[in-house]
Amino acid sequence: MVTLKDYQGGETAWCPGCGNFGILTAVKKALVELEISPHEVLMVSGIGQAGKLPHYMKCNLFNGLHGRTLPVATAAKLANHRLHVFAVGGDGDGYGEGGNHLIHTIRRNIGVKYLVHNNQIYGLTKGQASPTSDLGFVTKSTPRGVVSTPLNPIALALALGASFVARSFSGDVPHLVQMIKEAVNHRGFALIDILQPCVIFNHLNTFSWYRERVYKLGEGDYDATDGLAAFKKAQEWGERIPIGVFYKEERPALEELFPAIEDVPLVKQKIESRQFEKLIEEFM
Amino acid sequence: MVEFNFRVGGEAGQGIQTIGYILAKTLARGNMHVHASQDYESRIRGGHNFFHIRVSENPVYGTSEKVDLLIALNRETVDLHTKALTEKGVAVFDGEKTKIEKRDPSQFDVPFERLAVETSGNKIFANTVATGAALSLVKYDFDILSEVLTEIFRAKSKQVAEDNVKAAEAGYRYTEENFKGEVACELKPVEGPRRILINGNEAVALGAMAAGCKFMSGYPMTPSTGILQYMMNKSSDFNLVVEQAEDEIAALNMAIGASFTGVRAMTATSGGGFSLMVEAFSLAGMTETPVVVVLGQRPGPSTGFPTRTEQGELEFVIHTSHGEFARAILAPRDAEDAFYLMNKAFNIAERYQIPVVVLTDEYLADSYWTVDRFDFSKIVIDRGELLSEEEASKIKDYVRHKFTESGVSPRALPGYPGVLVVTDSDEHTEDGHITESAEIRVKMVQKRVWKTKGLEKEMVPLSYGPEKAGTVFLGWGSTYGAIREAVDLLNEEGFEVRMLHFNALWPFPTDAVIDALKGSEKRVMIESNATSQLARVLRAETGIQMTNKILRYDGRPITSNYIIQAFKMEVRA
């Protein structure tokens, strides 16, 4: 039986009170509840405070480049689709530097679960605006306030036809555990945008700011299979912020669509050089 | 027969490549040695393209400027290439279409289109008529052409194949009856082993597959697109995963992800794409993830000359990326070498857990050679320190980046029970976690920089020609054929010249080069670039200066004739 102790990692280097702690707790808890062992998990993380998360637990880890988690995770899943592959990064990593990969990973519907720690600020570089910083927010890089429209990750993912789009809040661990479990059980790509207060550099979107605003989808009569309703819901931000599964759709994941890996994972297949000898006939 | 040169020219979209390939294949079927190169523009329709085929009973290593038979699909081809015709050279064209009135003995008018419509009912068969006419002029066996056409077009339909054969026959017979002139020589199939006809990209792709590459991600870019496409086409039958990436950044990150998970993986691009891969290249260095990158060079900077050739990226790949770490650089001589060198590339990548660059160029990528059937028994898969699940389970407290005497750490894979594989693009401890320790930093740098020690002994350059010759021609990669032929021809003329040629450039084989250049009086570096990059690298690594350089950077391939002329004008003087 898998226990929390199996996932117990070393010392963290996050600031006291950081919103990331809730995410770390939730990830470990979800994996334990799903009875997944650490060796079955591969986390691919980027650069930023979020990218450090897998270092503070136990699992296979590829901590790669800023913004480039998704291509690495995609290929890892294709090379061994029996692994539970997660990509972990922040809003700068995923919505800024890695924007193009997000677009195309959504299109691929690869079975990678993407956790975005969205704190609406750059933490590791000490306080510049991020792609999701609210309009007017004064940061070190926006002394007159943010003037560019914030990126709406939920609407973006929905517009691209994502098969699983959710938002959660690091201040609500049970909710986040639930979202991660649903994402893992989902066939294909899952985006979880996680609202995560930065206690040092973001004095606007604080724990209490979020707590006053977030409410759970699914407690009413919300239908997560209605794409248009989801898109409408995705526009809600400010006074009230919905969290939960915005949209969910069942369709084949990318790894199911390669004949080469229909049965045996690619990594388990032996190298057989001689099988290519017959191709020589094409050149005769 | 010494050799014979065909050239097929016309606009993009006229099917030059198809005619050229069919001609080359038909000649190769007669057991002759064939080399074919392509000259094309960065456009889909219009402009001027040509396909050059050199054929001989003896091995042919490179292309030539001479033309014995010009197949002109438009008037411009006649205007541009008539001056290249040899004494008995003939230009064949469709006078009705090209409106060429002049009729001298070197020109032969065949109504390609009219014959196509008459025999096969459609002018699209005009090119096949031309192919038949060309082979009739050299009295080549029509049955071989018929066989090749049938093979190539029956994939479309039996009818298309038959129409092509009929069209070819019409061109062939028309020429038999009407051509009254003379061509340089006749071509007949010869005894001997049947060879394969393959281009550089196909050889790279096949070599990679034979070497056990199971994952390929790429973004289309000339001249390497053919590699991605070839592997894509074979992926279902041979259990490969090939993914077209959204950009080159993703392409190399994907290859790294697949390799980290345990499969041999590669990408292929050109200089512009490789520029985007630079950060990921250093990621492979830092995380000690084996990966192979094929870089098909084309003239830069920037978009440059997209469909032409150059060797402008040697110093770029030696220094690619921020930080210091080991890498290997290989540069195939020709298609045959490319096949076997891909095996070496994947083995080196895994033995040393480093990124490996295979430097090709447009000339190599697009040119065809007849070569002996590839010998698959020579393919050896050496996965280095890769641990099996069982081996890994016996290691207590496995760590991915363990300090070892060689600098190479045993490599487990994610998914092995009882083992966790952790790596980081940050400086890391032996167990792959982030560190700030100065002491670990120093040891990790030493590991990453010097773990390839000894590999330079496997990078020995090829010596060719009279051992005692005082003049040495040096070169690397695809200039091999041209330099080798120049050496042969100059020695025949009484000059004493030898060759030192590199198909493996990094780690630089310093001792072997110093040894090989002992006693040399003139050292002539021959490269397809403007600044003689290998000369600079060689001097930095050995202290040896070149006395002369023969360089070409107009985007066209170096030929033996180009070298000989430059040698006589500059070096000898």
- Check CB contact under 8 Å for B258 and A76: yes
Q: What is the ipTM of this complex?
A: 0.98
Strand partners, A214: A241
CATH superfamily of B4-178: Pyruvate-ferredoxin oxidoreductase, PFOR, domain III (3.40.920.10)
- Rounded to the nearest angstrom, the gap between the alpha carbon of residue B348 and the centroid of all alpha carbons in its chain is 20
Q: How many Å apart are CA B88 and CA B563, to the nearest integer?
A: 25
The secondary structure of residue A180, as a DSSP letter, is: H
Per-residue DSSP letter, A19: T
The CA R_g of chain B, rounded to the nearest whole Å, is 26
Name residues 48-77 of chain A within 8 A of B (Cβ).
52, 55, 58-65, 68, 70-76
Domain B457-571 sits in CATH at 3.40.50.920
Flag if B261 and A61 touch (Cβ within 8 Å): no
Number of Cβ pairs < 8 A linking chain A and chain B: 188
What gap in Å lies between CA A132 and CA B470, rounded to an integer?
A: 68
Q: Is B239's CB within 8 Å of A76's CB?
A: no
Q: CA-CA distance, B363 to B308, in Å (whole number)? A: 7
Backbone angles phi, psi at B316, to 5 degrees: -60, -50
Given A71, A274, A275, which is nearest B253 (Cβ)?
A71
- Taking the CB of residue B345, how many other CB atoms lie within 10 A of it? 31
Q: Which residue of A has its CA nearest to B248?
A: A71
The full set of domain ranges for chain B reads 4-178, 198-378, 385-453, 457-571
Judged by a CB distance cut-off of 8 A, whether residue B370 touches chain A is no
A residues 80-109 closer than 8 Å to B (CB): 80, 82-83, 100-101, 103-104
Same fold? B4-178, B457-571: no
The confidence score (pLDDT) of residue B100 equals 81
Question: How does pLDDT run across B231-261, given as a tens digit for each residue?
Answer: 999 999 999 999 999 999 999 999 999 999 9
Q: Which residue of A has its CA nearest to B414?
A: A60
Q: Which one is predicted more confidently, B103 or B326?
A: B326
A58 vs chain B: nearest CA distance in angstroms? 8
Helix (H, G, I), strand (E, B) or coil at B294: strand
* Cα–Cα distance for residue pair B482/B480, rounded to 1 Å: 6
Contact B434 A63 (CB under 8 A): yes
Neighbouring residues of B151: CB distance < 8 A, sequence distance ≥ 6: none
Taking residues B457-484, report their average pLDDT.
97
Handedness of CA B211, B215, B219, B225 (dihedral sign): positive
Nearest-by-Cβ selection for B415 from A68, A83, A277: A83
Express each pLDDT in B42-64 by its tens digit.
888 889 999 999 999 999 999 99
Q: Which residues of B touch A58 (CB under 8 A)?
A: 420
Out of B202, B280, B417, the one facing A65 most closely (by C-beta) is B280
Considering only CB atoms, A280 lies closest to which of B239, B287, B373, namely B373
Above 60 in pLDDT, residue B301? yes
Chain A contacts in chain B segment 176-215 (CB below 8 A):
194, 196-198, 202, 206, 209-212, 214-215
Q: Do A259 and B379 touch (CB under 8 A)?
A: no
Give the pLDDT confidence score for residue B571 in this predicted structure. 77
CATH number at A216 reads 3.40.50.970
What is the Cα–Cα distance from A271 to B292, expressed in whole angstroms?
17
Closest CA to B345 of B319, B369, B327: B327
Q: Read off the tokens for A256.
A: 């199911």
Determine which helix (DSSP H) or strand (DSSP E) holds B249, and give its type and residue range.
Answer: helix B248-261
Sort out which chain B residues have CB atoms less than 8 A from A269's CB and list them.
214, 239
Of B238, B254, B374, the CB nearest to A275: B238
Chain A nearest CA to B250, separation (Å): 5
Region B436-450: mean pLDDT is: 98
Q: Inspect the interface and report whether the beta carbons of A78 and B434 lie closer than 8 Å.
A: no
Interchain contact B217–A (C-beta under 8 A): yes
pLDDT, residue B1, reads 56
Q: Is B265 on the interface with A (CB under 8 A)?
A: yes
The reply to whether residue B241 touches residue A74, judged by beta carbons under 8 angstroms, is no
Q: How many domains are contained in chain A? A: 1
B323–A contact, CB cutoff 8 A: no
pLDDT per residue rounded down to tens, chain A (284 residues): 999 999 999 899 999 999 999 999 999 999 999 999 999 999 999 999 999 999 999 999 999 999 999 999 999 999 999 999 999 999 999 999 999 999 999 999 999 999 999 999 999 899 999 999 999 999 999 999 999 999 999 999 999 999 999 999 999 999 999 999 999 999 999 999 999 999 999 999 999 999 999 999 987 789 999 999 999 999 999 999 999 999 999 999 999 999 999 999 999 999 999 999 999 999 99
Residues of A in contact with B238 (CB under 8 A): 260, 275-276
**Terminal C-alpha separation, chain A:** 58
Of B486, B483, B498, B199, the C-alpha closest to B334 is B199
Give the span between the Cα atoms of B257 and A22, in whole angstroms: 28
Q: Which residue has the tokens 């010759």?
A: B469
Q: Could you give the percent of chain B with pLDDT greater than 70?
A: 99
* Tokens linked to A270: 């032996």
Q: Note whether B460 contacts A: Cβ–Cβ < 8 A.
A: no
Q: What gap in Å lies between CA A166 and CA A172, rounded to an integer? A: 14
Model pLDDT, residue B370? 98
Task: Identify the closest residue of chain A to B429 by CA–CA distance.
Answer: A55
Q: Provide the mean pLDDT of chain B.
A: 96
Q: How are strands ordered across the β-sheet holding B67-72?
A: B107-109, B85-93, B67-72, B4-12, B46-56, B33-39, B368-371, B196-199
**Which residues make beta-bridge pairs with A165?**
A191, A247
Closest to B266 in 3D by CA, of B237, B231, B239: B231
Q: Quick check: A277 contacting B, CB < 8 Å?
A: yes
What DSSP designation does B479 have?
G
**Per-residue pLDDT for B70 more than 90?**
yes
Question: If pLDDT is split at 50, 70 and 90, which confidence band does B315 have?
Answer: very high
Most B-contacting residue of A49, A59, A65 (CB-CB within 10 A), to test interface: A65
Residue-wise pLDDT for B158-201, tens only, equals 999 999 999 999 999 999 999 998 898 899 999 989 999 999 99
Do B280 and B249 meet the contact criterion of CB atoms below 8 Å apart?
yes
Q: In a mutagenesis test of the B interface, which of A2, A47, A62, A102 is the best target, namely the one with the most B β-carbons within 10 Å?
A: A62
For residue A100, the chain B residues in CB contact (below 8 A) are 246-247, 249-250
Q: Which CATH architecture has domain B198-378?
A: 3-Layer(aba) Sandwich (3.40)
CB B259 within 8 A of CB B299: no
Q: Is the CB of B235 inside 8 Å of chain A's CB atoms?
A: yes
- Domain of A32 in residue numbering reads as 4-283
- On the question of pLDDT at B351 being above 90, the answer is yes
Q: Pick B257's closest partner by Cβ from A76, A258, A275.
A: A76
Sequence-ordered list of residues with C-beta below 8 angstroms from that of B373, at least 6 positions apart, any chain: A280, A284, B195, B196
Window A:16-45, CB contacts with B under 8 Å: 37-40, 42, 44
Q: How far is CA A115 from CA A80, A177, A193, B73, B415, in A?
A: 20, 12, 6, 59, 21
Contact yes or no for A74 and B376 at CB 8 A: no
Residue B101, pLDDT > 90, answer: no
Name the residue facing A266 among B214, B381, B417 (closest C-beta): B214
Q: Give the position of tokens 């180009």.
A: B562
For residue B272, the distance in angstroms to the closest alpha carbon of chain A comes to: 18
DSSP A30-88: HHHHTT--GGGEEEEE-SSTGGGGGGGS-SEEEE--TT-HHHHHHHHHHH-TTSEEEEE
Of B238, B414, B425, the CB nearest to A65: B425
Q: Which residues of B touch A83 (CB under 8 A)?
A: 261, 414-415
Is A206 strand, coil or helix?
coil
Strands A164-169 and A241-248: antiparallel
The distance of Cα B369 from the centroid of its chain, to the nearest Å, equals 10
